[in-house]
């Protein structure tokens, strides 16, 4: 068996969900489990949160059906709504909480014959300008939806664009835009993503939507997950499968981009970009080998990468290598690679076996 595994700590995910709830006493929280629970395995994550979570949030009807099969009672929020009118009967059958984010979705809902009314979340475009309705449209549509046979609860939802950048002026603009509509008699309100859960109490409303924080990564560039009280959920670990000596002036890897400036020991690691490790990670990106930090050397290959072991003379074939996880924060690796933890987690491919710790 190829020595590469993603170990998922389900107790850490439960801990991180509890952190979200403690940030906003009395509020409820949709655990965001879209994209296969950010690469962690939706079945296992939903099972781990079965008793704790007030609800779950997903991106598609297919994801919603998978969650419903595991949890018959939880509220399941369909974040982008139905992509076609013919999905609405299934949304009703599954008993989903349905986002409506544009005129087309709203007209399709009002024309649908459903087996039961849905909890509807009217999405406000408060300033991100990706999905949602302008404030004036929300006011115009409110009475039509409030009286519609297809609607059980009528709720309000929006999404922050810059909550991860503390003090960004757009965040206050978006919050004010949302608050300005609360004279309308919405049943429930939801605004806070992970960053707002952790740092913007005024945005907590009735329902939180923690996502990246559940998986032990930080939404902030200037605050680590550990500083926020979060525990890493995924540890991606491999092995040294070869070690060689490289003379001064010799190169390593495709493109010969890394050249030894001193007599060097180079290790080969059983992980590459086909496993989800970022191909664009530059030399110097940190790895954790045998209990010590080491640096990526040269270009990442499809199935392997190289690490500079010159300062780790005891490192040997068979030693464990952590790509990120319990000893090496994913956010640090992501920063070195010029990306974010979200992307690294969701890109761990299906060929990497997941093992679960309860």
**Binding-site annotation: residue ranges for substrate:** 130, 302
One domain for residues 117 and 203 = yes
Q: How many domains is the chain built from?
A: 2
Asked if 336 and 329 touch (Cβ cutoff 8 Å), the reply is no
Does the residue 332 lie in any domain?
yes
- What's the pTM? 0.97
One domain for residues 29 and 163 = yes
One domain for residues 171 and 41 = yes
Does the residue 300 lie in any domain?
yes
Does the residue 229 lie in any domain?
no
CATH classification of the domain holding 349: 2.40.37.10
Q: How far is CA 156 from CA 98, 135, 142, 164, 206, in A?
A: 11, 11, 10, 22, 10
Distance in angstroms (rounded) separating the CA atoms of residues 217 and 75 = 25
Does the residue 95 lie in any domain?
yes
Does the residue 224 lie in any domain?
no
Q: For residue 306, give its domain range.
A: 234-356
One domain for residues 243 and 114 = no
**Binding-site annotation: residue ranges:** 130, 302
Q: What is the pLDDT along the chain (358 residues), one digit of tens a residue?
A: 999 999 999 999 999 999 999 999 999 999 999 999 999 999 999 999 999 999 999 999 999 999 999 999 999 999 999 999 999 999 999 999 999 999 999 999 999 999 999 999 999 999 999 999 999 999 999 999 999 999 999 999 999 999 999 999 999 999 999 999 999 999 999 999 999 999 999 999 999 999 999 999 999 999 999 999 999 999 999 999 999 999 999 999 999 999 999 999 999 999 999 999 999 999 999 999 999 999 999 999 999 999 999 999 999 999 999 999 999 999 999 999 999 999 999 999 999 999 999 9
Does the residue 226 lie in any domain?
no
One domain for residues 204 and 244 = no
Catalytic residue among 34, 215, 277, 342: 34
Distance in angstroms (rounded) separating the CA atoms of residues 251 and 40 = 36
Distance in angstroms (rounded) separating the CA atoms of residues 261 and 254 = 18
CATH classification of the domain holding 45: 3.20.20.10
- 356 assigned to active site: no
- 254 assigned to active site: yes
Residue whose pair of structure tokens reads 């491999």 in the numeric block: 238
One domain for residues 198 and 251 = no
Burial tier of 29 (Cβ tally within 10 Å: 0-12, 13-18, 19+): buried
One domain for residues 180 and 244 = no
One domain for residues 168 and 260 = no
**Nearest Cα to Cα of residue 287 among 300, 302, 274:** 300
């Amino acid at each position: 068996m190829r020595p590469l595994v993603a170990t998922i700590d389900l107790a850490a995910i439960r801990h991180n969900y509890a952190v979200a709830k403690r940030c906003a006493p009395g509020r409820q929280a949709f655990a965001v489990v879209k994209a296969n629970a950010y690469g962690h395995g939706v079945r296992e994550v939903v099972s781990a949160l079965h008793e704790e979570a007030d609800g779950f949030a997903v991106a598609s009807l297919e994801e919603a059906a998978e969650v419903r099969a595991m949890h018959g009672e939880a509220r399941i929020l369909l974040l982008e709504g139905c992509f076609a009118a013919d999905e609405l009967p299934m949304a009703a059958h599954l008993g989903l909480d349905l986002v409506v984010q544009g005129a087309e979705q709203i007209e399709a809902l009002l024309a649908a014959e459903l087996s039961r009314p849905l909890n509807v979340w009217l999405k406000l475009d408060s300033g991100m300008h990706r999905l949602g309705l302008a404030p004036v449209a929300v006011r115009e549509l409110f009475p039509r939806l409030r009286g519609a046979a297809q609607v059980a609860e009528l709720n309000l939802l929006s999404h922050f664009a810059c909550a991860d950048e503390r003090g960004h002026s757009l965040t206050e603009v978006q919050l004010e835009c949302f608050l300005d509509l609360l004279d309308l008699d919405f049943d429930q309100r939801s605004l806070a993503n992970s960053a707002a859960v952790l740092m913007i109490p005024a945005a907590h409303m009735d329902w939180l939507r923690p996502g990246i924080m559940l998986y032990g990564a930080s939404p902030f560039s200037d605050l680590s997950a550990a500083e926020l009280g979060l525990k890493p959920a995924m540890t991606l670990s491999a092995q040294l499968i070869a070690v060689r000596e490289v003379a001064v002036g010799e190169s390593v890897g495709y493109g010969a981009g890394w050249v030894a400036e001193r007599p060097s020991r180079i290790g080969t690691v059983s992980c590459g970009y086909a496993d989800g490790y970022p191909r664009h990670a530059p030399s110097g990106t940190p790895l954790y080998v045998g209990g010590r930090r080491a640096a990526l050397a040269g270009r990442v290959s499809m199935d392997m990468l190289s690490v500079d072991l010159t300062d780790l003379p005891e490192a040997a074939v068979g030693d464990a290598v952590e790509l990120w996880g319990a000893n090496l924060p994913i956010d640090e690796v992501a920063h070195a690679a010029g990306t974010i933890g979200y992307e690294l987690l969701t890109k761990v491919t299906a060929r990497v076996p997941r093992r679960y710790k309860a």
